Amino acid sequence: MRNQIAAANWKMNLTYQQGEALLDEILKAKVELADHQHAVFAVPFPYLIMAQTKLSARKNYAAAAQNCSDQPAGAYTGEVSAEMLKSINIGYCVLGHSERREYFSEHNQSLAVKTQRCLELGITPIFCCGEPLSIREVDAQESYVEAQLKESLFHFSAEDISKIVIAYEPIWAIGTGKTATSAQAQEMHACIRRQLKEKYGQQVADAIPILYGGSVKAGNAKELFSSPDVDGGLVGGASLVAADFIKIIQALK
């Protein structure tokens, strides 16, 4: 079975002490993961070493960065490079979250560069895509997401694309409590997999995990993840509550 991933996205929430306590509580539950299951925690940069130290003691638990620079190194005040992440053993990096696209002007071309930087260093990009409400209302979500994938990812080789995790996050469902139905999620995930297949073939398309994000909760995770093309979730709000995120990890196929 392809990898199934419960990914927490803390965004800009929690103090260091609160983050540490949250991880301790989640780890105390001792949820064992099968070889194909992974629990990943995208935490703020200053917490990465703490999180990675705690998480890496457990099989298939890991910390992730929420972003990295498109520049390799140099005079870019306030930026964090992929190489810096690598030097503290971070194995995942969320890229192109809709909040970064909206508030920090990230676009498909710079995300292509960020993805390249991560791949070169063996960091798994969790590449976010997804449409705003205005696009969903005119039923243009498939071509919108296709353009995001084409412009950021489809120049990569089959070998490189196989190392990427995709997160489909309809923007109208993020932080709104308005989850896509499992049928809506499955429809878009199947569409993304079809696009991957057209470009890279069945085998590659079948191996790439596609996570759903947007108001995943303890109560809906099992149903969402049960769809054949939904390989787990990227979870904001509910990842800040230990009991909820534990249930979400347990909901993985």
Q: Tell me whether residue 20 is one of the annotated catalytic residues.
A: no
Cβ atoms within 10 Å of 11's Cβ, excluding its own: 18
Closest CA to 46 of 72, 70, 10: 10
User: Exactly one of 39, 111, 208, 216 binds ligand PGA (CB under 6 A); which one?
Assistant: 216
Instruction: Name the residue with the smallest CB distance to ligand PGA.
Output: 236
115 is a site residue for ligand PGA (CB under 6 A) = no
214 is a site residue for ligand PGA (CB under 6 A) = yes
8 is a site residue for ligand PGA (CB under 6 A) = no
Residues whose CB falls within 8 Å of the CB of residue 161, separated by 6 or more in sequence, listed in order: 153, 154, 196, 200, 204, 208
User: Exactly one of 70, 106, 131, 169 binds ligand PGA (CB under 6 A); which one?
Assistant: 169
Q: Are the beta carbons of 115 and 152 closer than 8 angstroms?
A: yes
Q: Tell me whether residue 107 is one of the annotated catalytic residues.
A: no
Catalytic residue among 97, 106, 131, 189: 97
Catalytic residue among 99, 106, 131, 169: 169
Would you give the end-to-end CA distance of the chain in angstroms? Answer: 9
Window contacting ligand PGA (CB under 6 A); options: 54-62, 84-92, 135-143, 169-177 = 169-177
The CB-of-8 to ligand PGA minimum distance in angstroms stands at 9
What six digits make up the tokens of 119? 């791949």
Residues whose CB falls within 8 Å of the CB of residue 57, separated by 6 or more in sequence, listed in order: none
Residues with a catalytic annotation lie at 97, 169
Q: Which residues bind ligand PGA (CB under 6 A)?
A: 9, 169, 174-175, 213-216, 234-238
